[in-house]
Amino acid sequence: MSLLINGVLLEGEKKDILIQDNRIEKISSNIDKNSDRVISGQGKVALPSFFNLHTHAAMTLMRGYSDDLPVQQWLEQKIWPLEEKLTSEDVYWGTKLACLEMIKTGTTFFNDMYWHFESTAQAVEEMGIRASLGAVFIDLFDEDKAQEQRLKNAQLYQKIDNYSNRIQFNLGPHSIYTVSAESLEWAREFAEENDLMIHIHLAESKDEIEQCQDKFGKSPVKYLDEIGFLGSNVIAAHCVWLDEEDIQILAENDVKMVHLPASNMKLASGTFPYERLKDRRENIALGTDGSSSNNNLDMFEEMKIASLLAKIDQMDPTEMPADQIHRMATKNGAEIFDIKAGIIEEGKLADLILVDLNTPEMTPDYNTKSNIVYSANGSCVDTTICNGQVLMESGHVEGEEKIITKLNQIGNDLITR
């Protein structure tokens, strides 16, 4: 199937973009080719779609459920008890809602860690976007639970070929305070044997640092380094509380980091040390976290918050400029997962969005990239394309009304179970 986008603004020039199957075949002016489908790009700018590198997608089910609490109290007293009530159908619909929100706000890839892996994968498959999915691995230092979790993850990995190549499998050990050293070592070995990414929360809160110091006499980063867990296939979410030695260890092991500014601010976890990571910035991506700690999945909003937080943290208005944060939200994530996207070029995967320039937020258009980062929001996205398929056009996704209705029904039931 071929798709032609004509007359769209790309890098400051009007271009046509020809997509053949799932790849960008040609970018030029006035492409003369009969295509199966034509989309007008007039009044729109073409941009690579976003890569959200840390989510718990089905936590859309808990949006607004428990706000304004410290992170450990929020987790232990509110979130975890409610999650125990979740069914596979709940997670399926919660993930459908997350995918819908991401499509409508220009995201076509997310890196997830959550319960009910197969329900999550089914929802992603149906919604047409990409994802790296992991089942949450938590053993709470119980050997029987650990054996159960290892077997479950090994079995889930064997089923990954049941899904399209838009879906990857990763290992998701939750954190050092919920997973034993033996299970972390197992995850490292299993990932190495099967060429998998590992997705973990790391150095998110001051409590985590203090507990690790009390238990092991060292920081979480040094602890993971000591047990040989760290490597270039590790994606560490948050990384707020890092000293200089931690930063050096992460660099030596080529660990990838995910900046989650809205979640870190909302839970008062701390501030990501972006200025101290000057030499590692191509290994830093952006994410939203789950909708119970953000409370949305809008990467436009996340870019702005990240940039403003960096500026005020350093008292320097030049810190984290628009080009840098946009790269973190697109190309960096694509490169971390070795997905041939994150930039609009011939030969790349056809994952892109069209943003409407005729909106109040994008007017006037002195500097398109600045408007995208500092002014726009997800509602400015007109069209979302993933793998060459048009998932949204003119701001509408097929079936969105049904998903929203269903989630309202589930939400009303969930908190009364």
What's the mean per-residue pLDDT of the chain?
96
What is the token pair recorded at 24? 């960008």
User: What residues have CB less than 8 Å from 366, skipping those under 6 apart?
Assistant: none
Length of the chain: 417
Report field, pTM of the whole predicted structure over 0.95: yes
Please give the share of the chain, as a percent, with pLDDT higher than 70. 100
Q: Which H/E stretch holds residue 323? A: helix 322-329
Q: How confident is the model at residue 154 (pLDDT cuts 50, 70, 90)?
A: very high
Cα separation, 201 vs 187, in Å, equals 14
Largest Cα–Cα separation, the chain: 68
Q: Which domains does the chain have, with CATH numbers?
A: 2-48+344-400 (2.30.40.10), 50-336 (3.20.20.140)
CA distances (Å), origin 237, targets 63, 136, 212, 410, 412: 20, 14, 17, 29, 31
Instruction: Give the pLDDT of residue 325.
Output: 97
Instruction: Give the pLDDT of residue 416.
Output: 86
pLDDT tens column, 84-128: 999 999 999 999 999 999 999 999 999 999 999 999 999 999 999
Please give the sequence-ordered ranges of beta strands (E in DSSP) within 33-189, or none if there are none: 37-40, 44-48, 50-55, 107-114, 130-137, 167-169, 172-173
Q: Which H/E stretch holds residue 328? A: helix 322-329
Q: How confident is the model at residue 199 (pLDDT cuts 50, 70, 90)?
A: very high
Comparing C-alpha atoms, which of 239, 245, 277 is closest to residue 261?
A: 239
Would the pLDDT of 70 be above 90? Answer: no
Alpha helices in 162-260, H assignment, sequence order: 181-194, 206-216, 220-226, 244-252
Three-state SS sequence of 154-183:
HHHHHCHHHCCCCEEECEEECCCCCCCHHH
Would the pLDDT of 33 be above 90? Answer: no
pLDDT tens column, 316-369: 999 999 999 999 999 999 999 999 999 999 999 999 999 999 999 999 999 999
Segment 207-228 shows an average pLDDT of: 97
- Residue 79 contacts residue 367 (beta carbons within 8 Å): no
Cα separation, 107 vs 385, in Å, equals 10
Q: How far is CA 82 from the centre of its chain?
A: 23
